[in-house]
Amino acid sequence: MTNAIVIAGVRSGVGKTTIATGIMGALTRRGYRVQPFKAGPDYIDPSYHQLACGVPSRNLDTWLIPHPTVTELFRRAGGDDKICVVEGVMGVFDGHSSLTEEGSTAQLAKLLNAPVILVADAAKVARSVAAEVLGYQMFDPDLRIAGVILNGVGGPRHMEFCQPQIEATTGLPVLGYLPRREDFVQPERHLGLIPTVEGTVVQQWYDALIAQVEESIDLDRILDLASGASPQEDAPQVYPAEPQGKRARIAVAQDKAFSFYYQDSLDLLEAWGAELVPFSPLTDKSVPAGVGGIYIGGGFPEMFARELSENHSMLDSMRAALKREVPVYAECGGLMYLAQSLSDLEGNDYPMVGALPVVSSMSNSRLTLGYREVEAREDTPLLKKGQRVRGHEFHWSVLAEQPRADQSVYRVVNQDNRPEGFQVGSIWASYIHIHLGSSPGLARRFVDTCVVE
């Protein structure tokens, strides 16, 4: 048995991240070992979890990742001595499909056999919120909704108009609420909340949130509910059965501009023999010496375009590494950094590494978002030619010219086989984010690619 609870919302924007983070932080301060998780492909919400719990949050995505691997990742990070708190994605039934639960929080909760606490917004309703909760309860009777938390409550009198009807109509306990407080609202920008790596989340926010959770949410009842999860146990799918010796050094770009990495992707690289060497394209002078590969993930290079462009020694070091044919795998923000130039939100153009035949700029009119299934056009550091994998795309930036088929990394199978990404020299760069647990062998192949003979 595993102690686990899923915090799910009736829709996006009802306060899932705030409530889940507050519960995680409150339980951590009580002395429990809390392991946070995030449903879906989100990179930003997990950064809030990590600050609350002191350990990395991990993504569990039932569309990106095969179900036996999802439970492997869950069991590996969790354990009998931990409280696992899973924050859902969008509304509890929202996912990849319009007619099935595929990729949804509901599907994940059922896969983990974990109880769900449903978060509903009561800001502009009273007893009517009971009808909404009842609808979610009846929509899928197989989903184990175990309780309700209300957000946006005006005060005790407001709760007196909400709680009794919910409990009488659904039989579900109302486990507490968060009041309407402007100081709990975190700043957002074009991709959602601002990652905590940028230092925008102050300790006072966590302290106030945790104090409020302690006051108005029944943590003891939540602990009781969390005691009944029992995910299926399968043989290891993506992690090695035996420890592997270190055999490759991989530089990983990690700073305010580049912070979008799945924790299990990094852990899988280490498990298969990589020594990960963090470096900052923003502030370091050069790529770490002696590395056999470079991994540049996503993030917000557009917010730091000037600083990236003015770090001439790093740009020169990156160009020198490419001249030595050091393998470079880049996703989204990494692609933008390796391009000829990057235009920021104000339209200012800044030179970048200049290794890819493309320029990128920010678009205020079109968000590119969604799951993708891709097929490798040629061999890559992750995939063999013709191999397919699932990924995710999420960006406001646009490219001045789209890649030709003969220079692309992938063809996007679920989008009319359109060419995606650029393969130039020792660079493989794409807007598609890949979870290295989405297919056995991805991490091992990456490490193999980076071994220096």
> Is residue 187 over pLDDT 60?
no
**Buried residues in 398-435 as b, exposed as e (16+ CB within 10 A):** bbeeebeeeebbbbbeeeeeebbbbbbebbbbbbbbbb
The 10s digit of each residue's pLDDT in 398-438 is: 888 889 999 999 999 999 999 999 999 999 999 999 999 99
Provide the 3-class DSSP secondary structure of residue 174: strand
One-letter identity of residue 298:
G
Q: Which residue has the higher pLDDT, 397 or 365?
A: 397
Least confident interval from 35-39, 105-109, 227-231, 403-407: 227-231
The 10s digit of each residue's pLDDT in 240-278 is: 999 999 999 999 999 999 999 999 999 999 999 999 999
Q: What pLDDT, on the 0 to 100 scale, is given for residue 340?
A: 97
The 10s digit of each residue's pLDDT in 337-381 is: 999 999 888 889 999 999 999 998 886 667 778 999 999 999 999
Contact 350, 340 (CB under 8 A): no
pTM for this one?
0.94
Contact 246, 274 (CB under 8 A): yes
Q: What pLDDT, on the 0 to 100 scale, is given for residue 227?
A: 86
Phi, psi (rounded to 5 degrees) for 64: -70, -35
What is the average pLDDT across 175-190?
73
Distance CA(396)–CA(399), nearest Å, equals 10
> Which sequence positions are flagged as catalytic?
332
E strand or H helix at 270 = helix 263-271
> Is residue 33 over pLDDT 60?
yes
One-letter identity of residue 171:
G
The 10s digit of each residue's pLDDT in 124-133 is: 999 999 999 9
Neighbours of 168 (CB within 10 A): 10
Q: What pLDDT, on the 0 to 100 scale, is given for residue 75?
A: 92
Length reported for the chain: 453
Contact 77, 37 (CB under 8 A): yes
Distance CA(434)–CA(428), nearest Å, equals 13
Distance CA(173)–CA(206), nearest Å, equals 26
Per the structure block, which two tokens stand in for 326? 């050091």
Residue in the block written with tokens 């990128």: 360
Kindly compute the dihedral angle of the four CA atoms of residues 194, 196, 201, 203, in this order, to the nearest 10 degrees.
170
Bridge partners of residue 278, in order along the sequence: 252
Angle made by CA atoms 184, 187, 193, in degrees to the nearest 5: 100
Question: Which of 371, 356, 428 has its CA nearest to residue 97?
Answer: 371
